[in-house]
Amino acid sequence: MDPDRLLQSARQRLAWRRALQAGEAAALWLLLSALGAQLGTLAFPYSVRLDWAFLAVAAGAGTVALATRLLVRPTTTETAHWLDRRCALQDRMATYVAVRGAAPSRLLGHFLRDVQRAAAEVRLREAVPLRPARWRAVLGLAACVVAWDLLVSGSTLPNTPARRVAEVVRQEGRRLQDLAREWEREARGRGWREALWSARNVRQAAASLASPRATAELARRQLARLAAEVGAARAEVRARAQDQGALPGPEGPQLHPRAARALERELAGLGRALEEVPLSGEQAERVLRALNRLESTSPLRPQSPAQAALREARRRLRAQDRAGAREAVRRAEEAFRELARLLEEEGMLAKQRQEVEASSLSIAGALQGAADPEAAQERPIRYPNMPRNRPGTAGDRDDKDGEEWSWEGPQYGLQPGAGRVPEKVGPPTPRLQAQRRPEHLPGQPGEGKVYTGHVRAPAAGGEPRTRMAGLPARLVRQVDEVLRAQRVPAPYRDWVRHYFAELAESAP
């Protein structure tokens, strides 16, 4: 090969080689950084996503390689030196570059022939190999990153923020597992297909959260996906409820399931009334009025099957067609029953989503606390402290046995080591001024119908029942450890916290 052509070709290859080497070095450093970041997950609550890590490595290496190719170009002299060194040309090419335009020497002809001969023997691919030299190291590091993700990811060191967050994740996983089992049982009993499917999903996701290798990031991703799935199922059920005539509201259908059940029961009564023989004119008029009222007051769309059935029943009744009216009322009852079922299922799905989101928020809170440990140490946690002996407050007394109720609950709450434990623990929950309806119907399991729901009413007036007090985070952790280790029953937990709060206040 002609020395000039050889130099030109070698220069191009050298530029590519340098670009590849730069990219390789960048990949090496980025993979090392990824491995370091993975190592950091042992102590700090963050996660390294493998796909993002490799994407960053590829992007970084590619960018560096491209920039190097565009910006760094070897000179002819550098290329000549490269060839001299790689091919043991003993400075022939460098000398050739230097003496090309120099004054002729007696030995120049001999030298040029010598260079031609040497250049002809150069194998360019061997002289300027493009294969990076450290590709084994790059592959090895990549394998380490993958292996870490598969084998070690999720492990944490004791007494580190990462371990605390992991414990929160596992707690939430176990909590959701318990809830999901209940939801599954209830949905199976009631034949709620969407809710059952959703509860199973929640249980499976919760099981992975409760595993020892679950990471906060994975948990949040899973919970977000779960919330979306539950939301989708809920939307489907809601759409079916709306097909049944329920009017859409800002937070769901306007019609409450229990209202639908009440309407269903009322229609059942009307149906029974229509079966009575003979039906007096006054009774018929009463039924007609009831149908009127139901049609006008029920929050359903006019085109809904239930409303149409009601209208049909009214028309038949006016036409003295009692059998037709009874059939129409039965159809309306069926429609309301289906509507109630859909609304209840929708309520169950709403609850599932709420719990999933609550878990996600709890994990996010743990992550936030771990991200700012100093603030978590210094910032006093506001914890509700029970007010003591507030006589005269409505609902704060238990007048059942004539004793004045004390906010102190178990007497050992004030003075460590002294006091008595009454049979009844703690004050009764102050009831809101609203009518209560039994949530469970009597009957054998599987036969009756269970109503669940929330009673919404205005909050009780007056001063707040709790006052807020600042407690150091250390004390709160101490309390939490005691509660976890001693398996304190739920009714007593507030009092245990109160006990420690008193200890903290009395300490100098």
Partner 1 sequence: MDVQEFQSLYQRIRQELGRVVVGHDEVVEGVLLAVFCGGHVLLEGVPGVGKTLLVKALARVLELKFSRIQFTPDLMPADVVGTNVLVQDPDGRRSLAFQPGPVFSQIVLADEINRATPKTQSALLEAMQEYAVTVAGVSYPLERPFFVLATQNPIEMEGTYPLPEAQLDRFLFKLRVPFPDTESVVEILERTTGSRVPEAQPVADAQTVLRMQALVREVLAAPHVQTYVARLVEATHPQGPRPARAARRWVRYGASPRGAQALLLAAKARALVHGRAHASVEDVRAVALPALRHRLLLNFEADAEGVEADQVVRDVVEEVPEVAAASAGP
Output 117 or 379, the one with its CB closest to partner 1.
117
Number of residues in the chain:
508
With left for phi above 0 and alpha for psi between -120 and 50, is residue 217 left, alpha or beta? alpha
285 binds partner 1 (CB under 8 A): no
Q: Cα torsion at 182, 195, 343, 432 (round to 10°)?
A: 30
Residue 252's beta-bridge partner residues?
A: 249
Q: According to CB under 8 A, which one of 60, 62, 114, 188 is a site residue for partner 1?
A: 114
Largest CA distance in the chain: 140
Residue 50 near residue 149 (C-beta atoms within 8 A) = yes
Q: According to CB under 8 A, which one of 63, 105, 208, 254 is a site residue for partner 1?
A: 105
Helix, strand, coil shares, percent, the chain, to 5: 65, 5, 30
Output 49 or 81, the one with its CB closest to partner 1.
81
- Least separation in angstroms between residue 204's CB and partner 1 is 55
- Least separation in angstroms between residue 97's CB and partner 1 is 8
Output 6 or 263, the one with its CB closest to partner 1.
6
Provide the mask over 12-41, with x wherever binding to partner 1 is found by CB under 8 A and - wherever it is not: ------x-----------------------
Q: According to CB under 8 A, which one of 9, 95, 116, 204 is a site residue for partner 1?
A: 95
Q: According to CB under 8 A, which one of 77, 211, 377, 411 is a site residue for partner 1?
A: 77
181 binds partner 1 (CB under 8 A): no
Print the SS3 string covering 311-335: HHHHHHHHCCCHHHHHHHHHHHHHH
**The one-letter amino acid at 228:** A
Place of tokens 């952790």: 477
482 binds partner 1 (CB under 8 A): no
Count residues binding partner 1 (CB under 8 A): 24
| Burial zone of 260 (CB within 10 Å; 0-12 exposed, 13-18 middle, 19+ buried) | buried
340 binds partner 1 (CB under 8 A): no
- Least separation in angstroms between residue 71's CB and partner 1 is 15
Q: Where are the alpha helices (DSSP H) in 244-304?
A: 257-275, 281-297
Q: According to CB under 8 A, which one of 91, 178, 403, 439 is a site residue for partner 1?
A: 91
Helix (H, G, I), strand (E, B) or coil at 127: helix
92 binds partner 1 (CB under 8 A): yes
Q: According to CB under 8 A, which one of 42, 99, 144, 469 is a site residue for partner 1?
A: 99
With left for phi above 0 and alpha for psi between -120 and 50, is residue 252 left, alpha or beta? left
Provide the mask over 400-419, with x wherever binding to partner 1 is found by CB under 8 A and - wherever it is not: --------------------
381 binds partner 1 (CB under 8 A): no
Applying CB under 8 A, the residues found at the interface with partner 1 are 18, 74, 77-79, 81-82, 84-85, 90-92, 94-95, 97-99, 105-108, 110-111, 114
